[in-house]
């Protein structure tokens, strides 16, 4: 039987995300100080900071968050997989709207982002 390290089990992270992470298995550190302006938003009602140019997913990963959604059938935590908008492993609730792909959603100041559990529920601000 083939053994895998924890780092090999980490979902693949591409593009700008990988360029800013110093340890793929941890994935919570940016490389050096950012030259981009900070953007403030909330994650599960907690103040969180990203930088200009981040997607919602890249800001959350850089902040150390690993679980973005909970699978509707199995209840398994999901933290993103493809990071290009082709799967549903990064669905979050943004400003009350469920089913938003965090990996392709640009981070904007003041966004209220929440972990999506199952199919999500429309919240305040949703239509």
| pLDDT grade for 2, boundaries at 50, 70 and 90 | very low
Over the chain, what is the mean pLDDT? 79
Greatest alpha-carbon pair distance for the chain in Å reads 50
Q: Is 85 inside a domain boundary?
A: yes
Domain that holds residue 22: 6-30+53-117
SS3 59: helix
As beta bridge partners, residue 77 has: 70
- Alpha-carbon distance of 28 to 70, in angstroms, equals 20
- Alpha-carbon distance of 70 to 27, in angstroms, equals 20
Q: Is 125 inside a domain boundary?
A: no
pLDDT digits (tens, 9 = 90+) for 57-101: 999 999 999 999 999 889 999 988 999 999 989 999 999 999 999
pLDDT digits (tens, 9 = 90+) for 3-24: 434 444 344 444 444 444 444 4
Residue 104: CATH number of its domain: 3.10.20.440
Q: Is 44 inside a domain boundary?
A: no
Q: Is 123 inside a domain boundary?
A: no
pTM of the complete model: 0.72
Domain count within the chain: 1
pLDDT digits (tens, 9 = 90+) for 97-107: 999 999 999 99
Which helix H or strand E contains 9, and what residues bound it? helix 6-9
Q: Is 48 inside a domain boundary?
A: no
């Amino acid at each position: 039987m083939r053994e895998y390290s924890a780092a090999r089990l980490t979902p693949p992270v591409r593009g700008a995300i990988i360029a800013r992470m110093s340890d793929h298995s941890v994935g919570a550190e940016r490389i050096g100080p950012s030259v981009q302006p900070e953007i403030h938003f909330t994650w599960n009602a907690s103040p969180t900071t990203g930088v200009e140019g981040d997607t919602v997913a890249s800001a959350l990963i850089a902040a150390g968050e690993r679980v973005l959604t909970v699978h509707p059938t199995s209840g398994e935590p999901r933290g993103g997989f493809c990071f290009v908008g082709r799967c549903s492993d990064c669905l979050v609730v943004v400003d009350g709207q469920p089913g938003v792909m965090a990996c392709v959603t640009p981070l904007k100041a003041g966004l209220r982002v929440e972990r999506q559990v199952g199919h999500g529920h429309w919240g305040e601000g949703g239509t």
